[in-house]
């Protein structure tokens, strides 16, 4: 990038863009820096919100789909839609995560245990914990990742 060139802003936190993108909305975009991926780094306190998370993702037949809906201040939130019997095979996350079921029923496994969660249920997974996610029925979940690495 040339000195003095502006990096494209990917935050999309503005009047119409946020609503059309289904991302968190603010009264105005308040930032003056970007991370390495071009996402806004907020320098002012602000309020972000999403009114209806589940409506932002559809369940697709015989598939798992995902969509990032928030990325700010060390937090990333990703929606997932799972058809029945779809799964995320065993994997780890470099940071602590919370999984919240929005619709349906999911089986989450880790540490040699499995828990079944329905709408409203949450599970916490520490960083680097091998875990799996399996959709007992068509389901939607919110994954919140907490990156405190700076």
Beta bridge partners of 88: 133
Find the helix or strand (DSSP H, E) in which 16 lies.
helix 15-21
Per residue in 58-96, pLDDT (tens digit) is 999 999 999 999 888 888 999 999 999 999 999 999 999
Does residue 48 register a pLDDT over 90? no
Does residue 110 register a pLDDT over 90? yes
Residues with Cβ within 8 Å of 38's Cβ and at least 6 positions away in sequence, in order, are 7, 8, 9, 10
Q: Which of helix, strand or coil describes residue 7? A: coil
How far is Cα 55 from Cα 142, in angstroms, rounded to an integer?
Answer: 12
Q: Kindly indicate the confidence band of residue 39, based on its pLDDT and cuts at 50, 70 and 90.
A: low
On whether the CB atoms of residues 138 and 59 are closer than 8 A, the answer is yes
How far is Cα 115 from Cα 103, in angstroms, rounded to an integer?
Answer: 16
Find the helix or strand (DSSP H, E) in which 51 lies.
none
What pLDDT sits at residue 124?
Answer: 97
Q: How many other C-beta atoms lie within 10 A of the C-beta of residue 119?
A: 15
How far is Cα 100 from Cα 80, in angstroms, rounded to an integer?
Answer: 10
> Could you give all domains of the chain from N- to C-terminal order, each with its CATH number?
1-49 (no CATH), 54-146 (2.60.120.10)
- Rg of the chain taking only CA atoms, in angstroms: 17
N residues, the chain: 150
What pLDDT sits at residue 98?
Answer: 98
Which two tokens mark 139? 């389901």
């Amino acid at each position: 990038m040339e000195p003095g060139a502006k990096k494209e802003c990917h935050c999309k936190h503005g009047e119409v863009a946020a609503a059309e993108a289904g991302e968190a909305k603010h009264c105005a975009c308040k930032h003056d820096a970007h991370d390495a991926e071009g996402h806004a780094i907020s320098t002012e306190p602000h309020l972000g919100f999403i009114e209806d998370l589940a409506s932002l993702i559809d369940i697709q037949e015989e598939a798992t789909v995902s969509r990032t809906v928030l990325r700010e201040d060390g937090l990333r939130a990703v929606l997932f839609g799972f058809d029945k019997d779809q799964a995320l095979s065993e994997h780890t996350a470099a940071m602590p995560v919370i999984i919240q079921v929005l619709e349906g029923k999911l089986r989450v496994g880790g540490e040699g245990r499995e828990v079944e969660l329905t709408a409203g249920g949450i599970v916490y997974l520490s960083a680097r914990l091998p875990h799996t996610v399996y959709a007992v029925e068509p389901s939607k979940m919110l994954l919140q990742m907490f990156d405190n690495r700076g």
